[in-house]
Amino acid sequence: MALPDPAPVIELIEAFRRSKTMFTAVSLGVFDRLPATAAELAPALSVHPDALATLLDGCAALGLLTKADGVYSNAPVAATYLRSDSPQTLRGYVRYSDEALYPMWAHLDDAVREGTPRWSQTFGLNGPIFSAFFRTEQAMREFTLGMHGFGVMTSPAVVAAFDLSRFHKLVDLGGATGHLAIAACERYAALRGVVVDLAPVVPAAQEQIALSPAVDRLDAIAGNFFEDVLPEADLFALGQVLHDWSEAKIAQLLRRIFDRLPPGGGLLIAERLLNEDGVGPIPTNMQSINMLVCTEGKERSPSEYERLLRAAGFTQVEARRTGTPRDAVLAIKSPA
């Protein structure tokens, strides 16, 4: 009997090498300084020229760079997502993946044994990850703008997954740069939007709002959605928020939202959705493991979200796949 193809195992053995190649190139600032030869670039980056050429050749083999007559240039995918000056940049999230996630994933076995995140083990940090790891304004800003790149890719599809035209005011809780509220207000001409996030994040949201044609219908304010009085709204949004938390905290937050909504009001959730049996899509399973390593949360299936939402009081719940890294769930509070 023929042996099975070992390619899936070999690809997984080597997968971290590909990630770390890109991480290192981003960390060094390679993509911001091209086109150039390795010899030209090495002094500017304070690295060994031959070693840099090896790294650049690897990036070219991965499709991130092109090489002609010894000159390396960004491929379109790198120019769009890996340069720091691109509106769609994912550089901040790449840096976060390199500096935070990569070291913590080395302790995945302990996370599975204990069922707890690895921040303390890896970095000696205690407390919520967002306040502990992002200790400087620049670190928070770079991560936030990195997540903005994902938001630009996904939020237009999320707000288009359902007809939201009946709603008048959207409050996006933990809305970061406001990409979801911006996409919603740009799609629905009568909708007003408010982004609520921690004070250090608000300036980044204000910057992005100022660039939107819907700027006159958007605002960003500081707030803690677990503690502060929620703004008045007939539609709340949670974008990649629920997957961070335990079910007890999710129940608390959903109930706060439900109690604040008027009859007929709604909650729009943007999260990766697992298949009902918990197996697939692969990126969602990998993100769920990432949540195990980083937070007290996980990714969930449509029925799991429906259970949580109905327990909070919502009577109508519908989930839809968007074809992007974030899917959509809409929950409605019963009309009076």
Residue in 172, 150, 167 with CA at minimum distance from that of residue 238: 172
Q: What is the pLDDT of residues 258-281, one digit of tens each?
A: 999 999 999 999 999 999 999 999
Calpha distance 197→319 (Å, rounded): 25
The pLDDT, as a whole number, for residue 148 is 83
The pLDDT, as a whole number, for residue 143 is 72
Position of tokens 């550089």?
Answer: 91
User: What is 149-332's CATH superfamily?
Assistant: Vaccinia Virus protein VP39 (3.40.50.150)
Calpha distance 243→315 (Å, rounded): 22
What tokens were used for 193? 């939007």
Q: Which letter, b or e, does each residue of 274-310 get, where b requires 16 or more Cβ atoms within 10 Å of its Cβ?
A: beeeeeebeebbebbbbbbbbbbbbbbbbebbbebbe
Position of tokens 């703004």?
Answer: 231
Question: What letter represents residue 116's amino acid?
Answer: T
Q: Which letter, b or e, does each residue of 108-141 get, where b requires 16 or more Cβ atoms within 10 Å of its Cβ?
A: eeebeeeeebbbebbeeeeeebbeebbeeeebbb
What tokens were used for 170? 């959207």
The domain locations on the chain are 7-81, 149-332
Average pLDDT score over residue span 137-144? 71
Report the chain's mean pLDDT, rounded to a whole number. Answer: 94
Predicted structure pTM score: 0.93
Q: What is the pLDDT of residues 212-254, one digit of tens each?
A: 999 999 999 999 999 999 999 999 999 999 999 999 999 999 9
The pLDDT, as a whole number, for residue 132 is 52
The residues assigned a catalytic role are 243
Residue in 261, 242, 244, 263 with CA at minimum distance from that of residue 306: 242
Query: Which regions of 11-56 does DSSP assign to beta strands (E)?
Result: 36-37
Q: What is the pLDDT of residues 8-50, one digit of tens each?
A: 999 999 999 999 999 999 999 999 999 999 999 999 999 999 9
Calpha distance 138→73 (Å, rounded): 28
**CATH no. of 7-81:** 1.10.10.10
Query: Which regions of 52-168 does DSSP assign to beta strands (E)?
Result: 65-68, 71-74
Q: What is the pLDDT of residues 141-164, one digit of tens each?
A: 777 777 788 888 999 999 999 999
Question: What letter represents residue 90's amino acid?
Answer: L
Sign of CA dihedral 51, 56, 58, 61: negative
DSSP annotation of 106: T
Sign of CA dihedral 13, 19, 22, 23: negative
Question: What letter represents residue 14's amino acid?
Answer: E
Q: What is the 3-state secondary structure (H, E, C) of 194-244?
A: EEEECHHHHHHHHHHHHCCCCHHHEEEEECCCCCCCCCCCCEEEEECCHHH
Contact present, 251 and 311 (Cβ < 8 Å): yes
29: left (phi over 0), alpha (psi -120 to 50) or beta: left
